[in-house]
């Protein structure tokens, strides 16, 4: 990977030199650095460009980059947060050129890492434009999805809103994360709000009958007219309408108008694709790894500036209704309590479980319209999952152990895949993920507990060595030096462990499970037997 990154930097420098010298046009029809695009995809993109230009559209060519945990320092530099990235998979981010008359906010430059000069991950939208993504989709996996987010907008958050009051009282350590301005532009709120239901692998398969390894087109636009022009041009190239998917950027989020445009006061956006848990398991040379390395996709930015083109905006469409497994997962609550007590009995310690926050069923109202209305940072949510967020967990060396216990959505019928994420409380970096394949059967050592096979039991400690007897049949994750030492659990600037759980895609549905029908996991603080004599710090941990 280091060699590939060096190569990409060299290629990018060459492109910049060519652009400055006039040898390479910014509005080209070929792939940009970092992508190995099949010849057939390139040919279609060139033909599409020609057809749209003949209709009077401007066409600019972008490129894609893989956004991984290694890119977090760039995002942190820009936002002072890594946004609780999902560690289950890297993201694929389109990098697009700026229009000559587009105001480019220096405060979001480099948000996804270094890019070719004049190209950015963040962008504004002309009312008559579209971003078109065309190419080969990846090999089979548990999840693939595309979603655009409202990144930032001018304004102030509302301290009298239910969301602000809830976070201030229940999650004070996250107040500065969920209510914040762009660090380099204090006039704009960080929003990262979802605008619609995502286009995921189930949506693609339901409409076009196939998804994996298929060539498909995506249109991201606030304008029905432009969408129609793109679809007509693609149809002329033999691309069936069922293989084209439009992400409609609405003219409002609920009751709050959007500010579509290219000016300094306009809303700006960020688009990301997620490809998670490939069936081949990943690894060197695997088809899924090759797809991520090649990114065989083209991204075009198109618009029509002619006065005769009157944009037709999309109204707010709302989100699709969500359902849950039958019987509902919440019916397992008594059995979860029994399992927690059994764990505490084995450890011969008091039981003080704390539930993870069910974020989409709480007063946070983690949806785009609610976040925009309150001026809250939504942290890039999606309707494809249920989210659970834990409180900060202190990890003094060789002292504390935590047991995470919960219903496993893949066993309860509530999820296609589950990710238990490990996050830094300070940077909001998701640095590790434990998926459902590793969690399945982890509570089987407690066979006396009803429905034990539907639960997971996962331990965390600074060092799991010596805990084998107490954690028998379950997994224990050693944090080691992945998080720095923290000497004061009251210090909000001290780095601690934060656990998240994501339940993706209710089987048979295009969306995640209904949040109110999911069962919140719990965390049980425990202490090592060999340091039991030192209990001075224990009251701090059991608050």
What residues are paired with 434 via a beta bridge? 420
Nearest in space to 534 (alpha carbons), one of 397, 402, 344, 392 = 397
Nearest in space to 112 (alpha carbons), one of 94, 138, 130 = 94
Within 10 angstroms of residue 383's Cβ, the number of other Cβ atoms is 20
Nearest in space to 136 (alpha carbons), one of 66, 218, 209, 58 = 218
Q: Which residues of the chain are modeled with pLDDT < 70?
A: 1-34, 530-543
Residue 434: helix, strand or coil by DSSP? Answer: strand
**In the structure, how many helices (H) and strands (E) does the chain have?**
13, 26
Rounded CA gap, 400 and 296, in Å?
46
CA dist 375 → 104, 185, 262, 368 (Å): 22, 15, 21, 10
Q: Order the strands of the 400-407 sheet from edge to edge.
A: 354-355, 522-527, 400-407, 455-461, 475-478
In the block, tokens 């981010």 appear at 93
pLDDT of the residue at 492: 82
Residues of the chain with CATH 2.60.120: 329-541
pLDDT of the residue at 237: 97
pLDDT of the residue at 33: 65
Rounded CA gap, 154 and 118, in Å?
23
Rounded CA gap, 392 and 175, in Å?
13
Rounded CA gap, 534 and 531, in Å?
6
pLDDT > 90: percent of the chain: 79
Rounded CA gap, 201 and 172, in Å?
37
pLDDT of the residue at 35: 83
Class of domain 329-541 (CATH, top level): mainly beta
Identify whether the C-beta of residue 495 lies closer than 8 Å to the C-beta of residue 483: yes
Whether the predicted model's global pTM rises above the 0.75 cut: yes
């Amino acid at each position: 990977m280091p060699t590939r990154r060096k190569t990409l930097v060299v290629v990018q420098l060459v492109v910049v030199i060519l652009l400055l010298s006039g040898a390479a046009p910014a509005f080209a029809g070929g792939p940009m650095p970092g992508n190995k695009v099949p010849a057939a995809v390139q040919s279609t993109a060139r033909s599409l460009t020609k057809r749209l230009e003949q209709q009077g559209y401007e066409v600019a060519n972008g490129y894609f980059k893989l956004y991984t945990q290694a890119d977090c320092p760039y995002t942190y530099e820009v936002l002072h947060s890594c946004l609780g990235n999902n560690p289950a998979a890297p993201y694929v981010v389109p990098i697009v050129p700026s229009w000559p008359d587009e105001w480019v906010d220096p405060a979001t430059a480099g948000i996804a890492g270094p890019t070719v000069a004049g190209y950015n991950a963040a962008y504004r939208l002309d009312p008559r434009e579209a971003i078109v993504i065309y190419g080969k989709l990846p090999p089979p996996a548990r999840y693939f999805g595309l979603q655009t987010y409202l990144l930032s907008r001018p304004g102030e958050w509302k301290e009298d809103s239910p969301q602000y009051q809830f976070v201030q009282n229940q999650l004070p350590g996250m107040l500065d994360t969920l209510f914040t301005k762009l660090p380099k532009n204090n006039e704009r709120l960080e929003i990262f709000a979802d605008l619609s239901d995502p286009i995921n692998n189930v949506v693609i398969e339901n409409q076009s009958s196939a998804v994996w390894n298929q060539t498909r087109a995506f249109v991201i636009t606030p304008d029905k007219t432009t969408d129609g022009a793109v679809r007509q041009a693609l149809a002329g190239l033999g691309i069936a309408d069922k293989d084209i998917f439009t992400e409609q950027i609405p003219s409002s989020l609920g009751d709050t108008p959007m500010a579509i445009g290219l000016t300094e006061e306009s809303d700006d956006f960020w688009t990301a694709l997620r490809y998670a848990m490939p069936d081949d398991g990943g690894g060197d040379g695997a088809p899924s790894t090759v797809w991520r390395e090649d990114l065989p996709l083209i991204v075009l930015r198109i618009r029509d500036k002619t006065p005769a083109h009157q944009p037709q905006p999309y109204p707010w469409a709302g989100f699709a209704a969500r359902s849950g497994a039958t019987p509902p997962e919440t019916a397992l609550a008594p059995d979860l309590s029994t399992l927690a007590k059994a764990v505490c009995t084995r450890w011969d310690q008091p039981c003080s479980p704390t539930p993870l926050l069910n974020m989409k069923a709480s007063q946070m109202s983690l949806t785009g319209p609610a976040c925009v209305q309150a001026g809250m940072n939504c942290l890039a949510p999606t309707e494809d999952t249920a989210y659970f967020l834990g409180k900060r967990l202190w990890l003094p060396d060789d002292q504390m152990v935590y047991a995470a216990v919960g219903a496993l959505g893949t066993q309860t019928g509530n999820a296609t895949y589950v990710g238990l994420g490990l996050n830094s409380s300070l940077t909001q970096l998701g640095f590790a993920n434990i998926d459902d394949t590793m969690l399945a059967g982890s509570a089987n050592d407690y066979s006396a507990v009803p429905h034990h096979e539907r639960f997971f039991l996962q331990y965390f400690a600074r060092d799991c060595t010596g805990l084998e007897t107490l954690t028998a049949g379950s997994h224990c994750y050693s944090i080691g030096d992945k998080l720095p030492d923290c000497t004061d659990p009251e210090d909000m600037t001290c780095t601690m462990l934060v656990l998240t759980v994501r339940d993706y895609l209710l089987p048979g549905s295009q969306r995640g499970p209904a949040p109110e029908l999911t069962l919140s996991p719990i965390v049980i603080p425990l202490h090592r037997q060999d340091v039991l004599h030192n209990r001075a710090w224990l009251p701090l941990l059991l608050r």
